[in-house]
Each structure stands twice: as C-alpha cells, then as structure tokens.
Amino acid sequence: MASDPTDLTRRYAHELADGLRSGAFSAREVTDAHLAAAERDNRGLHAWLTIDASTARRQADAADQTLAAARSEGPAALAALPALLGLPVALKDLVSVEGGQCTAGSRILEGYHAPYDAHITERLRASGAVLLGKTNMDEFAMGSSTEHSAFGPTSNPWDLDRVPGGSSGGSAAAVAAFNAPFGIGTDTGGSIRQPAGLCGIVGMKPTYGRVSRYGIVAFASSLDQIGPFARDSRDAAALLHAVAGRDERDSTSAPMPVPDSLLGLAASDDAAAGALRGKRLGLPREYFVAGMEPGVEARVREAVAALETAGAIVEEVSLPHTEYGLATYYIVAPAEASANLARYDGIRYGPGRRDGDTLANVLATRGEGFGAEVKRRIMLGTYALSAGYYDAFYLKAQKVRTLIKADFDRLWADGFDALVAPTSPTVAFRFGARLADPVAMYLSDACTLPVNMAGLPGVSIPCGLSEGLPVGLQLIGAPWTEAELFGLARGYEAITADAPWRSVEPAQLAQAADPAGPTPAERAAGLAA
C-alpha cells in the first residue's frame, strides 16, 4: 500500500518540522493524528502500555505557542527553534517520567510511578517534544521478541502473527505503524537494532556513554545504552542529537561534545550518495552465521553491491572472536542483571507480600513478580558470580570481551570507515517459535551482541524485503562516529530511493485497526494451540 501524502502520520519528522515552522499545520493537529493512530491500532498491535493523551495535548499546545511567537519574530527565530519542537515521541516503559508509570514490562513494578525525570526525559522536554506515552517491552529488557512482557506480547505490523523483535519491540512497532515519528529504545545486546531490522525502520545504538542512563531502569550497566528509532536516518540523527550529552549524575556518561552534524545530514539525494565515494567498508565474514535465511543474506549482499556501485570500497574482513560473543554476553549480562535486580524486594518498589516474615515476603514477592526469563537470567548471573565460579566464568568472560573489542580496534587502525553486516540472521519469526528454546531465542542477537561488548555505535537501516518481511542492514563504526554512520545510512537511503520496496507499507495495518480483531495475546495463544 502506498503512503497517503495528506496523512500527517505518514510524513517524516523533518517534514513535519518544516510544516510546523511554516504554519501549514499545528503541533496539536500532528499530535491528535498520532494519538488517533495509536489508540486505533493498540488493540491489534499492543505497542503501547499507556497513552497519555491529555499530557501530550498540553505539550503540543505549548509548542504551538512557541512556534507562533517565533513566526512573529521572523526567520532567524524559527531557525533557532529545537529540531524536535512539537513532534511526538514514544518512550520505552523503562524511561522515568515524573509522575508516570515505569513498569519495565514487569509485574514487580506494576503501580510504581517515577518520582523524577530521566535525563533523556529532561532533554526531550527542553526540546519541546511531545511525549505520547510508554511502549511495551520484554521484562527488564530481557528478550528478543517482546513476548516476555508481563503485560502480553506486541505484534509486528508487517504480520500480526509475528514478533516485532525485542526488547524494544513496542517502540519499534509504534514507529513502523505510524503511531509516532520517533521512538526511544534501549540496546543491551541488540534491543534497538534487531527490532528496527524486523520492523523495517532505522534504529541506532550509540557509543556506550554517549547518552546518560540516569533514570533508566537498569539491566546490565556496562552494556545498556539508550538510542533512537525513526523511519529514516535524518530523523533518527535528530533524536539522538536531542538526548545525547554529558550528565554529571551518570558516572559512565562521557564528556564528549555532541556533533551538530547530526542535524546536518544531506537533504539532497545526490549529495548524500556522493558522500559514499571512497568510503572503506569492512564486511565481516563471521556475521553471515549458520542458520541465516537465504533471503536475508541475499538482501544484505545486494545492499553491499549497491554501496560498491555508488563508489564505496568493500573488503571482506575477519573478527575472529565473534564466535565467542554470544557466550560472553550471556555471562556478563546476567551477572550484572542479578546485581541490578536485587533491589526489587517488594519493600521499596511496586507490589509486595506482607503476610510473612521479611525473608519470606521478599522471596514470595520476587517469585510472583518476576517472569520466567528474568528468573532464568538472575540464576545464571548469580551462579557466574558465586564463590568458586567467578574466575572460571565472569572473569574469563571479561577477558574475552577485551579480545572482541581488540578485533574491532584493529580494523579501525587499518583505516576502515565502518563495517557493514546483517542486523538479524532472520526476518521476524512467529509467536511462540522460540519460547521453548531459549538458546534459539538468544541466537536472534548473534549479529548485534559484539557491538555492545565493544561499546561501539551501530545502526540498522532497512535494505529490502524477504518473503514480504523487512530485512535490516547494520552499519558499525568506531567510538563516537554516530554522525558518520548516519551519513553512510543517509547515502544508502539516497541510492535506493527509487527501490520499489521503499514504497511498501507494513502489510497488516488495516487488520491491526480492526476493533473486532484478535489481540496479540490471543494470536499467540491460537498459534500455540
């Protein structure tokens, strides 16, 4: 289905920003259009856990007042306005918003309301963005399908019987379904890039430390990073520019300047395509993993060929320690999770048992409040950190992590501008297909995990369809090269601007909007039966 140019929800965020500044439409109109889409689709998609229409409209009205004042002052005042002013954003439900719910997809935080804003919430408010609500996610960001949400799964708008990826599946589905032009996710092992790939949108994991984690519910503190979703690279870059920067409240937040070039990606396709000439890109052979679907590999290799035709230099390279990335991640991440989740005891956060002694209440609260995947990872992490096993597992994993990073460092030292690889070895899979086999689920992130282990930036961009479902192309860069990666992504968008697949919308949006249709939970139950 071709997009309707008169529908505000179909416009890119930078197009909406231009229209707001010209007065072609108002922030209230933009917000109402996206709220209507989110409310209409949420039964069929379950992308949203809460939609805060009253707050969003107040923020939109405030943006309209700012826009009107700037228009009266002239072009210079309009040019000085924040890029995100009046534009709707979907927040993953582990971002603290003062007074709002923050469940992290878990029953153990049901009823908890954040007493303060996260750093990125402060940044978004300062930019004049409109916060539409909170999106569904795998519990405590532990999952690759959003099936581990305590509040039920989310459907992929391309096929409602399939997952959107995870753990940021709600935000990815909301952006892909035109419920919001922007979304916020977190990426611990691929949880922005993998759902972006499976939903056919752009998603970036920035360099570790680029965005403050203050006010974000923690999973694995040395791996977690906040990043943007959008439908093209210009919009994703603008959202990253708004939320990135040093924050004294987060000791891991880096004192690195945020490049204004994130707001200056080429508007002209010719200029964007020209920037690809002479770029040296590495193609890691290890990322074409066993079990990769032929259609996925074909689309990725076609994308690589298109980059070469545009003047990029692509060379096959090796990252020899990639094969240890999955095992290393599933020692480090659960170990950090077991420590971070120790705070959830029913005394300070959310519901808790009160009918026994303190220890019995804590055990009962955690037993009832945590889901199966969270319990699995807590047990793995606790075991890896226990006396007699710390050196054998956790310490060894950290040493291997250093080797994984050294593989990337060698390529940067050799002069590569970026690496190009698949985002996911498969397209979106059906509900329930991997729930009985956790290892098969973990393999969903085989192409994304090493980037987190090395603390690098990576972006997933759409590169075509396989059997009618999106395929993601991943670009990986050296630390602090987010702007350069977005420049490459913008170049790829330019050279494929006329590709037929770019005009194809998610195939099952109409079914998602059917008020009598099944919910994702009902679909999942039906497939299981």
Which residues are the active-site residues?
A: 92, 167, 191
Cβ pair 517, 292 in contact under 8 A = no
Token reading at 214:
């203050």
Neighbours of 353 (CB within 10 A): 16
Which residue blocks in 13-118 are alpha helix, DSSP H?
A: 13-22, 27-45, 53-73, 75-79
Q: State phi, psi for 444 to the nearest 5 degrees.
A: -60, -25
| Residue 202 near residue 235, CB atoms below 8 Å | yes
User: Is residue 185 within 8 Å of residue 92, measured between CB atoms?
Assistant: yes
Residue 419: what are its φ and ψ, rounded to 5°? -115, 150
Total residues found in the chain within this entry? 529
Hey, what are 424's tokens?
A: 């996911």
User: Is 264 in a helix, a strand, or coil?
Assistant: coil
The answer to whether 482 touches 262, Cβ cutoff 8 Å, is yes
CA distance 354 to 379: 25
Query: Among 285, 282, 343, which Cα is nearest to 106's?
Result: 343
Distance separating alpha carbons of residues 512 and 510, to the nearest angstrom: 5
Helical H runs in 386-481?
396-413, 438-442, 449-454
The SS3 assignment for 72 reads helix
Residue 167 phi/psi, 5-degree rounding, is -80, -10
